Amino acid sequence: MIKAVIFDMDGVMIDSERLYREACTEIVSRYGGTVTPELFDKQMGLKMEETQRVVVEIARLPLTPQEFGRMYIERFLEIARERLGPNPGLVELLEFLSPRVKLGIASSTEKSVIMEIVEQIGVGRYFQTIVGGDEISRSKPDPAIYLHAASLLGCNPEECIVIEDSPNGIKSGTAAGMEVFAVLHDENRHLDLSGAGKVFENLVEVGEYLRRRDGLSSRRC
The DSSP secondary-structure symbol of 219 reads: S
Domain count across the chain: 2
Backbone angles phi, psi at 189, to 5 degrees: -65, -25
Domain shared by 155 and 122, yes or no? yes
Active-site residue flag, 10: no
Q: Over 60: is that where the pLDDT of 138 sits?
A: yes
Tell me the residue type at 203.
L
Q: Which of 8, 10, 15, 165 is catalytic?
A: 8
Interval 39-47 mean pLDDT: 74
Q: Over 60: is that where the pLDDT of 81 sits?
A: yes
Domain shared by 105 and 190, yes or no? yes
Specify which residues 7 forms β-bridges with.
Answer: 105, 163
Interval 90-100 mean pLDDT: 97
**pTM, rounded to two decimals:** 0.85
| Domain-terminating residue out of 83, 117, 139 | 83
Domain shared by 149 and 172, yes or no? yes
Domain that holds residue 30: 17-83
Domain shared by 78 and 134, yes or no? no
Q: Over 90: is that where the pLDDT of 9 sits?
A: yes
Structural contact between residues 89 and 208, judged by C-beta atoms closer than 8 angstroms: no
Task: List pLDDT tens digits, range 177-200.
Answer: 999 999 999 889 999 999 999 999
Q: Over 60: is that where the pLDDT of 221 sits?
A: no
> Please, how many CA atoms are within 13 Å of residue 55, restricted to the half-sphere of its CB?
33
- What DSSP string describes 82-101? HH--BPTTHHHHHHHHTTTS
pLDDT value, residue 213: 86
Domain shared by 34 and 138, yes or no? no
| Among the ranges given (101-105, 133-137, 154-158), the one the predictor scored with the smallest mean pLDDT | 133-137
